Amino acid sequence: MTLSFALDAASVFVFALTGALAASRAQLDIVGFLFFAALTAVGGGTVRDLLLDRNPVFWINQPAILFIAAAAAVLVFFSAHLVESRARWLAWLDAAALSIAVPAGLAVALATGQSGFVAPIVGVLTGTFGGLLRDVVANEVPMVLRQGELYMTAAFLGALAGWYVSGYLATGPALIVAGLVTFFLRAGSLAFGWGLPVYRSRPPR
Amino acid sequence: MTLSFALDAASVFVFALTGALAASRAQLDIVGFLFFAALTAVGGGTVRDLLLDRNPVFWINQPAILFIAAAAAVLVFFSAHLVESRARWLAWLDAAALSIAVPAGLAVALATGQSGFVAPIVGVLTGTFGGLLRDVVANEVPMVLRQGELYMTAAFLGALAGWYVSGYLATGPALIVAGLVTFFLRAGSLAFGWGLPVYRSRPPR
Amino acid sequence: MTLSFALDAASVFVFALTGALAASRAQLDIVGFLFFAALTAVGGGTVRDLLLDRNPVFWINQPAILFIAAAAAVLVFFSAHLVESRARWLAWLDAAALSIAVPAGLAVALATGQSGFVAPIVGVLTGTFGGLLRDVVANEVPMVLRQGELYMTAAFLGALAGWYVSGYLATGPALIVAGLVTFFLRAGSLAFGWGLPVYRSRPPR
């Protein structure tokens, strides 16, 4: 369980940075930074733990997790003005967090012996729900709605790749594969505009 | 439990169609279709299972549910352009899904022996939360906010009717009553503009 | 557990009034009033109970809770037009509800022996998530996003104060401290514009 805790802690820190950046765009006070940092940081893992009936949920089990999120919030509160484009930093940090949180979710799903297709789905949920909550509450366009970008696709294929590899190798390398595939696809989309064909609406709506 | 699984599976398919139609309106790629189809399809039943502490939740217990949602997403991705008005199809399919999901929730609530007034409430939650999640995440106006339409009302009176009948008849006929009443009211609202009087705002807001 | 039930019941009634006021602003019918009243009233406590794995959740355990919310909805449906500014009433009633719900959450967290920092966090979640759900579903700006107001801050400092006092005094006085501190700060913000310094965006976004 130590590996999954380390992954949870790392994804909490990076997702908390993105939550605090969203708070800076909304011009909130320090408690607003703490709230968005924590919501984003623990949202995905909390949904995972509720669905898998893990008791208590990870941040109640290890409250130190909350201090990690708080540290990220304070860091951003005093340094976000140094950043040239907060929207761009937010997108790239979110990509990094996604690439840690997908394997973090997959690790728990594999450790609790989820059958068949459920493990990668849990990985995708863990990776994406914190950012989704952040965007919905902060009135930003959810990343999943950005047309022509690989977001869910990156998380989904990363989780699938890690799950597939876990049938042949140990869990550690499988999680690394999941993280690398997720980051490769998401970074490629941000840097080079990679995307899948989107549905084109015809005149009727 | 087979009856409640069949109802869950049917409501999953029809709600997944509505989720995929929402994805088509947002011009997403195929993974976006899969995400919205799955979110809409399993959202209500997942909330129900978390509230009633059913472990594991229905789609983790029966992952085939996810393939049903995926099939609906693919179907819509390749056929939505054939449809004349996607908004209208979405509303009618949502009405059908609502009329299946309300009895699906009621069936589980009755089977787990929920006391008094709780059973119809669980039916309403199961019927409406998937569509609510779909609309909130997709930035569409939630159906519950559409003025003068019967939506929550249809689900609520359908669940109440089924719950009342379940005190006199077997569960099967009671669920049919719940579905028919829900569909009758919702369809009447869509087709003929049935509605309850709404609260009229005076100048002060 | 009687004290925490009384606090839950009181916060349910006042939060239900705010939910019904939000429904009146959206010009919904009576069932829309019931839905928003119930969503707001039980949202925070439900999230608390799911996180702490209390089974069944409080309103399934005590369905009378739902009648309290329904009574508030009916009351507002027939009297909201008498109110001069519904937005202002909504803000003040929300302040009162917050000041009851934060100790309601803290009471359960203390009674279930949550370690260290977790108890005040549970108090904040219980106090704020019902209103957050109300605002997200009703397309209102979430209270947490209102710049320069003390909202999360009031809940957070109130919960912290109550938690600190609970180490020295009985639970009852500690809950009173939590409620008074929360209300004092939130009311001061509404009446006198109290606030913490907010993050100022520089030209880059």
pLDDT tens-digit readout, A8-50: 899 999 999 999 999 998 999 999 999 999 999 999 999 999 9
CA atoms within 13 A on the CB side of A98: 30
Tell me how far apart the alpha carbons of residues B147 and C28 are, in angstroms, rounded to a whole number: 6
In 3D, which of A163, A185, A184 has the Cα closest to residue A175? A163
DSSP-H helix ranges across B80-197? 86-111, 118-137, 152-165, 171-192
Average pLDDT over residues A107-123: 89
A60 CB neighbours in chain C (<8 A) are 51-52, 114, 118
Tell me what pLDDT residue A139 has: 87
Report whether pLDDT(C160) > 70.
yes
Tell me how far apart the alpha carbons of residues A150 and A194 are, in angstroms, rounded to a whole number: 7
Residue to mutate among B52, B143, B151, B199, with most C CBs inside 10 A, is B199
- Start-to-end CA span in chain A (Å): 49
Whether A189 contacts B23, CB under 8 Å = no
Per-residue HEC secondary structure of A86-139 comes to: HHHHHHHHHHHHHHHHHHHHHHHHHHCCCCCCHHHHHHHHHHHHHHHHHHHHCC
Whether A104 contacts A126, CB under 8 Å = yes
User: Which regions in chain B score pLDDT beneath 70?
Assistant: 1, 201-205
A33 CB neighbours in chain C (<8 A) are 199
- Start-to-end CA span in chain B (Å): 49
Locate tokens 């696709």: which residue?
A: A153
Tell me how far apart the alpha carbons of residues B92 and C141 are, in angstroms, rounded to a whole number: 30
Whether C133 contacts C43, CB under 8 Å = yes
A205: contact with B, CB 8 A cutoff: yes
> Which two tokens mark C193?
């514009």
Tell me how far apart the alpha carbons of residues B154 and C143 are, in angstroms, rounded to a whole number: 31
Element (H, E) at A178: helix A171-192
From C124's Cα to the closest Cα of chain A, the distance in A is: 10
Tell me how far apart the alpha carbons of residues A121 and A108 are, in angstroms, rounded to a whole number: 12
State the count of interchain CB pairs (< 8 A) between A and B.
78
Query: Three-state SS for C24?
Result: helix
Tell me what pLDDT residue A5 has: 84
> DSSP state, B202?
P
C191: contact with B, CB 8 A cutoff: no
Tell me how far apart the alpha carbons of residues C121 and B85 are, in angstroms, rounded to a whole number: 47
Residue to mutate among A31, A79, A83, with most C CBs inside 10 A, is A31
Residue of chain A with shortest Cα separation from B24: A199
Tell me how far apart the alpha carbons of residues B92 and B38 are, in angstroms, rounded to a whole number: 19
% of chain A residues with pLDDT over 90: 70
Cα angle A44, A131, B31 (rounded to 5 degrees) comes to: 90
Tell me what pLDDT residue C115 has: 77
A98 CB neighbours in chain B (<8 A) are none
In 3D, which of B196, B42, B171 has the Cα closest to residue B106? B171
Query: Three-state SS for B7?
Result: helix
Tell me what pLDDT residue C202 has: 56
C58: contact with B, CB 8 A cutoff: no
- Band the pLDDT of A1: cuts 50, 70, 90: low
Report whether pLDDT(C204) > 50.
no
In 3D, which of C101, C96, C91, C198 has the Cα closest to residue C159? C101
Nearest to C145 among A26, A80, A83 (CB): A26
C55 CB neighbours in chain A (<8 A) are none
Residue C33, CA distances (Å) to A68, B159, C15 in order: 40, 18, 12
A201: contact with C, CB 8 A cutoff: no
- Band the pLDDT of C205: cuts 50, 70, 90: very low
Residue of chain A with shortest Cα separation from C124: A35
A50 CB neighbours in chain C (<8 A) are 50-51
Q: What is the pLDDT of residues B93-106, one digit of tens each?
A: 999 999 999 999 99
Whether A4 contacts A104, CB under 8 Å = yes
Average pLDDT over residues C155-169: 94
Nearest to C116 among A29, A63, A81 (CB): A63
Q: Which residues of C86-106 are buried (b: 16+ CB within 10 A; e: fewer)?
A: beebbbbbbbbbbbbbbbbbb
Q: What is the pLDDT of residues C96-128, one digit of tens each?
A: 999 999 999 999 999 988 877 899 999 999 999
Tell me what pLDDT residue A202 has: 56
Average pLDDT over chain C reads 91
Residue of chain A with shortest Cα separation from B20: A199
> Which two tokens mark B86?
């996607």
